[in-house]
């Protein structure tokens, strides 16, 4: 019974977030991400130009470790090879500063707005930075995601 309730809540939330089949595909490919992280990454990807979108996808496919800080304000993305972070990606974003914000996204729920920033370091997707702890989004059945700006 509890699984059915959870399944219905997830399905309802996915439909309202407009990620649909695309989000379900991401969930299968990237099971290490939460629903909220998938929605934020999906919104960012949709806002990128086709060239940058390919780089974004290629880097995401190599992520095999996600580290969330205890407060839930930050999610760090890693590709681990032989026990160490691997940063030698063939496809990188052309960044002039070492660290660049890729996009600004907003999460809206119950009349509140939470900003989320997606960052790249040395041309590689690296961090999701949340304005509030994301733990509460596991229990929020209904929220909306909006891409505010892409900085590339």
pLDDT digits (tens, 9 = 90+) for 116-129: 999 998 888 899 99
Rounded Cα gap, residues 98 and 128, in angstroms: 16
pLDDT digits (tens, 9 = 90+) for 34-48: 888 888 999 999 999
pLDDT band for position 12 (cuts 50, 70, 90): very low
| Residue scoring higher pLDDT (22 or 135) | 135
Paired with 120 in beta bridges are: 100, 125
pLDDT band for position 81 (cuts 50, 70, 90): confident
pLDDT digits (tens, 9 = 90+) for 94-114: 777 788 899 999 998 888 889
């Amino acid at each position: 019974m509890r699984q059915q309730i959870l399944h219905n809540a997830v399905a309802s939330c996915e439909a309202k977030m407009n990620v649909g089949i695309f989000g379900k595909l991401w969930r299968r490919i990237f099971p290490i991400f939460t629903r909220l992280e998938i929605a934020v990454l999906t919104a960012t990807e949709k806002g990128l130009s086709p060239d940058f979108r390919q780089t974004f996808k290629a880097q995401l496919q190599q992520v095999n470790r996600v580290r969330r800080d205890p407060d839930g304000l930050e999610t760090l993305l890693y590709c681990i090879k032989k026990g160490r972070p691997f940063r030698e990606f063939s496809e990188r974003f052309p960044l002039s500063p070492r660290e660049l914000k890729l996009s600004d996204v907003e999460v809206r729920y119950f009349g509140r707005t939470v900003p989320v920033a997606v960052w790249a370091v040395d041309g590689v997707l690296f961090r999701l930075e949340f304005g509030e702890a994301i733990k509460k989004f596991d229990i929020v059945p209904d929220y909306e995601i909006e891409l505010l700006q892409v900085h590339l």
